[in-house]
Structure 1
């Protein structure tokens, strides 16, 4: 019972982050399942089954708040579903011993990407309003779907930063569209795992716990998407993912590092993570101050403009 409550809380927290950041539900949930010894394919299958419900509720909520571009959803979601099915069947064919370190390596790479991307660059802006072409979104969807099912997460970490980096879709619509299209990915990945492993290692109670937590958080996250600082969230989530998967890899047969080496690596990661969070918070505050100063300057110009524009009256 305690484990089910923990999983529900993880699902809630992961969906809060995913719905407001456009990523991390699958990566966060799968990381936890791997940490407690779940079979890699079963862990990814469990998360994707839960995501069928969470992404559906999240998509509806984002749509209600006007955060969805349906053209983007279709252009990236359908190729994403194809990639997810292929990735699920690929992961299902691997042995547990081979898949566990491989999945942790994929999750570690995603975690490093999230941590670096949001700490250094935040949310890039520019070229807003220009259309996103199918020749860009289709390959992105195929790669994102494949990585998502093999890594237990990755649709958001692949899709969200790539679309944001293009500068063509505003952040809230990027996040809402990625979250909504993930429903197609979750369904396709789940079908792939059912074909590959059936229900082996998949516990219905765990699926329901993750699902309940995610469903509760989904509408809240869709509402909070305009209010929470994504830069800080990205640094925080990226650090958790990096730390957890480095721990898994150092303990795996691939490396099997001694205790002294492992603890030294953990200290370094904690220090870098703390520095990244501190930098992200400072940069966010600086951005808020700059925006406030810019608004104040525009207001002053608006007040002064009527006096400057008054017509000159010739002296009598």
Structure 2
């Protein structure tokens, strides 16, 4: 049992709050921002990913309920994403716990940076007519795997690629966030079987408190912000976080 001082967890509460507002509104960034913060304070990659996913189990539950309440969820798309996402998450958690999966990370981040620039370009132009995305299940599988193995990636991979296919930003973001609860719960359980409770530190407690407090606000923003603005914001956040992650991967 460890004692927790408020001054120790306050910075992580603020990080968790800000990251969750962005994640709930744009369908990405909580894992990337939180995982980066934990790595900065010296938490090992597997333990950082385990801690972030434990926190996300709670934040995505609150966020998902909020998105459902605001009618931001496409339930057919939800089922097509959630099941393969859970399978990919279990595989990714096992790989990160037992094998170094960092070799492919720079290539994935470079790809996501390019996707971010493309989404930004599309958002600045006239928005195309929305259409039902065709490639969904493979995205769920890849997103779940990369999310667990890379400490974050479900939102960037899945949300961005669905938007490229023409999916509506508001329901895409709400659906991806709601499906993420089942993904993070499964990943957390897998990590606990591999690593135990060692990853749950004062940093993850701070992220948990801040994230849960912020979770309801993201769904409200996703409902109220125009589709074109959402597309531009998603492209901007994806580009910035991916380029930063790429720089760290190449210079780490």
2:213 counterpart of 1:213? no
Report the TM-score, using the length of structure 1 for normalisation: 0.69
Report deviation, 1:102.
4.2
The answer on whether the counterparts of 2:63 and 2:215 sit within 8 Å (CA) in structure 1 is: yes
Cα RMSD of the aligned pairs, angstroms, is: 2.4
CA distance in 1, matches of 2:204, 2:64: 19
Which residue in 2 is equivalent to 1:126? 129
Q: Which runs of 5+ in 2 are unaligned?
A: 1-5
**Which of these residues, 9, 33, 37, is aligned with residue 32 of structure 1?**
37
* Cα offset, 1:36, TM superposition: 2.1
The whole-number CA distance in structure 1 between the counterparts of 2:40 and 2:236 is: 21
Task: Give the structure 2 partner of residue 48 of structure 1.
Answer: 53
**Rounded Cα–Cα distance in structure 2 between residues aligned with 1:198 and 1:30:** 18
1:242 is displaced (CA, Å) by 2.2
Does the CA-based 8 Å contact 2:146-2:152 persist in structure 1? yes
Q: Following the alignment from structure 2 to structure 1, what is the Cα–Cα distance between the partners of residues 241 and 160? A: 18
Conserved in 1, the CA contact under 8 Å of 2:116 and 2:234? no
Q: Structure 1 stretches of 5 or more lacking a match?
A: 253-316
Aligned residues of 1:81 and 1:188 also touching (Cα < 8 A): yes
CA distance in 2, matches of 1:233, 1:5: 27
Output one character per residue of 1:269-293: Cα deviation in whole Å (capped at 9) or x when no partner.
xxxxxxxxxxxxxxxxxxxxxxxxx
The aligned residue for residue 274 of structure 1 is none
2:4 counterpart of 1:19: no
Larger Rg: 1
Q: Which among 66, 83, 88 is matched to residue 88 of structure 2?
A: 83
**How far 1:61 sits from its partner (Å)?**
0.4
Q: In 2 relative to 1, CA 115–165 (structure 1 residues): closer, same or farther, beyond 3 Å?
A: closer
Query: Which residue does the alignment assign to 1:227?
Result: 225
Q: 1:6: how far off?
A: 1.4
Distance 1:141 1:46, change over 3 A: same
Mapped contact 2:26–2:233 kept (Cα < 8 A): no
Instruction: Map 1:1-316; keep pairs closer than 5 Å.
Output: 1-94=6-99, 98=100, 102=103, 105=106, 108-109=109-110, 112-113=113-114, 115-122=116-123, 125-128=128-131, 130=132, 132=133, 136-167=135-166, 169-200=167-198, 202-225=199-222, 226-227=224-225, 229-230=229-230, 231-232=232-233, 234-236=235-237, 238-243=239-244, 245-247=246-248, 249-250=250-251, 252=252
Aligned to 2:28, what secondary structure does the other structure show?
coil
Asked if the contact 2:110/2:242 (under 8 Å) is kept, the reply is no
Q: Output the CA distance in 2 between the equivalents of 1:49 and 1:220.
A: 20
Q: Is the 8 A contact 2:112 2:157 kept in 1?
A: no
